[in-house]
């Protein structure tokens, strides 16, 4: 089923479980470890596909929940699929919608069958099941599609988390049965909250299903950030070494570096794009608010070492002016820089793994 997908690990770190690899998809390769920007509604907000490509982004995310509500998968299918519709000819991953229903919609009802919720668009009741999520994702046509899972909140009791984790496994079996397209890779999602033994058991069960890739979900949902590394450490030893591993919704420097050290490969997060729309830049590991008066007469680029279009052409003073004036271009320029910054962070880690310099060069993030 997965002839169009392969994952090759080219180098393993000698000190940690970090690895550098290449994940091949029908729309091209993804070099791992790598950060993936979020394009919820079939676009990365404020940037064109050409601008996005210049950031070094390879795979981008879109969302089943949002695209089902607007414009609906039938229209995307009619357009020739997501790649053609949004004009992104590189790899795309769609999230299954489960997590978005849980976090975004009120008045939802979860049963073993699936989730019933009220559409925020027209108030109609929508029934999202594992089968329905896969049908929608098959129609959208992304390269990687995600299993429909139940992400328990934090905090949640061990019993609640155990029940959600087992339901997620039963839903995964139904996703596998419903999945129709060999040109799409279905990734399973490990849940298990902050309980290391539930994580390990879930990962072991999923590994038995021989999927083309695995994700860790249910982190970065309000738990103390120190726990993310612990959860990842409890999970990765049970996952197959020869398949890509994706840590969902995590994209901060430290959490990515530590997860990479435990053997994770792919990351996504709304932080760089959301910060940009709030007038903030990620520079050398810090968050800068460009409205701050210190930038008014600062004629340097955001980061003199950054190769992005923004840093190659514009000054902090100019971006500060645009942010103060609420000009749309401010958000475009900051989005270009912030995505470039996080993609480049993971690219630098990849190069360090290949050169066996990961633990020395990234010591500040690994401690
Ligand atoms: N499940 C799914 N998508 C997700 C998550 C999850 O647990 C998370 C949690 N960090 C982000 N996105 N399907
Ligand atoms: Zn830049």
Mean pLDDT by 10 residues, the chain (367 residues): 86 98 98 99 98 98 97 98 98 96 83 94 94 98 98 96 98 98 98 98 98 98 97 98 98 98 98 98 97 98 98 99 98 99 98 98 96
CA distance 107 to 126: 11
- Please provide the distance, in angstroms rounded to a whole number, between the alpha carbons at the two ends of the chain: 41
- What pLDDT does residue 44 have? 98
Looking at residue 107, its pLDDT comes to 74
The three-state DSSP-derived secondary structure of 154-196 is CCCCHHHHHHHHHHHHHHHHHHHHHCCCCCCEEEEEECCCCCH
What span, in angstroms and rounded, lies between the C-alpha atoms of 350 and 348?
5
According to the annotation, is 298 in a ligand binding site? no
The helix, strand and coil proportions of the chain, stated in percent and rounded to the nearest 5, come to: 40, 20, 40
* Residue 269, marked binder: no
Q: Is residue 337 part of an annotated ligand binding site?
A: yes
The pLDDT score that the predictor gives to residue 103 is 82
Place of tokens 């939802």: 108
* Residue 96 annotated in ligand binding: yes
Pocket of ligand 1 (CB under 6 A): 95-96, 98-99, 146, 149, 151, 189, 217-221, 248-249
The CA 8 to ligand 1 mean position distance, Å, reads 25
> What is the pLDDT, as a whole number, of residue 170?
98
| Residue 268 is a catalytic residue | yes
By CB neighbour count within 10 A (0-12 exposed, 13-18 middle, 19+ buried), where does 192 fall?
buried
The interface predicted TM-score (ipTM) is: 0.99
Distance 187 CA to ligand 2 centre (A): 32
Nearest alpha carbon, ligand 1 atom 6: 217
Task: Please state the atom number of ligand 1 nearest to the C-alpha of residue 250.
Answer: 10
Query: The dihedral of CA 88, 93, 96, 100: what is its sign?
Result: negative
* Local structure of residue 307 (DSSP, 8 states): -
Residue 3: per-residue pLDDT: 75
Q: Which of 143, 265, 268, 303 is catalytic?
A: 268
Closest by CA position to 252, among listed 229, 218, 231: 229
Residue from 65, 215, 216 whose mutation best tests the ligand 1 pocket (most atoms within 8 A of CB): 215
Residue 332's pLDDT is 99
Q: Is 242 a catalytic residue?
A: no
Residue 315: closest CA among 340, 297, 331, 338: 297
Q: Which residue has the tokens 């612990």?
A: 230
Whether pTM exceeds 0.95 = yes
Q: List CB contacts of 13: < 8 A, sequence separation 6 or more.
A: 19, 261, 353, 356, 358, 359
Mutate to test the pocket of ligand 1, among 37, 149, 167 (most ligand atoms within 8 A of CB): 149
């Amino acid at each position: 089923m997965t002839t169009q997908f392969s994952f090759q690990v080219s180098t393993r770190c000698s000190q940690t479980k970090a690895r550098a690899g290449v994940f091949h998809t029908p729309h091209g390769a993804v070099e791992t470890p790598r950060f993936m920007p979020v394009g919820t509604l079939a676009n990365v907000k404020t940037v064109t596909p050409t601008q996005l490509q210049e950031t070094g982004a390879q795979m981008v995310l879109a969302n089943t929940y949002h695209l089902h509500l607007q414009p609906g998968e039938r229209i995307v299918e009619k357009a020739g699929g997501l790649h053609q519709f949004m004009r992104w000819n590189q790899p795309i991953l769609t999230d299954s919608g489960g997590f978005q229903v849980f976090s975004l919609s009120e008045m939802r009802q979860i049963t073993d069958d699936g989730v019933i919720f009220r559409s925020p668009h027209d108030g109609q009741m929508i029934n999202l099941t594992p089968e329905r999520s896969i049908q929608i994702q098959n129609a959208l046509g992304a390269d990687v599609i995600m299993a429909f899972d139940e992400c328990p909140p934090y905090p949640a009791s061990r019993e609640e988390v155990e029940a959600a984790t087992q339901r997620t496994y039963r839903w995964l079996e139904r996703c596998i049965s419903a999945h129709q397209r060999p040109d799409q890779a279905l990734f399973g999602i490990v849940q298990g909250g902050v309980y290391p033994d539930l994580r390990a058991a879930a990962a072991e069960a999923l590994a038995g299903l021989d999927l083309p890739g695995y994700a860790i979900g249910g982190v970065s949902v309000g738990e103390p950030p120190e726990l993310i590394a612990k959860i990842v450490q409890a999970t990765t030893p049970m996952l197959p070494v020869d398949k890509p591993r994706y840590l969902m919704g995590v994209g901060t420097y430290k959490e990515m570096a530590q997860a990479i050290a435990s053997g994770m490969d792919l990351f996504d997060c709304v932080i760089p794009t959301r910060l940009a729309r709030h007038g903030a830049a990620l520079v050398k590991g810090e968050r800068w608010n460009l409205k701050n008066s210190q930038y008014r007469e600062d004629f340097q680029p955001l980061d003199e070492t950054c190769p992005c279009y923004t840093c190659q052409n514009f000054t902090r003073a100019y971006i500060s002016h645009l942010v103060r004036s609420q000009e749309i271009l401010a958000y475009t320029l900051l989005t270009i820089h912030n995505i470039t910054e996080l993609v480049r962070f993971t690219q630098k880690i990849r190069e360090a793994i290949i050169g066996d310099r990961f633990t020395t060069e990234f010591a500040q993030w690994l401690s």
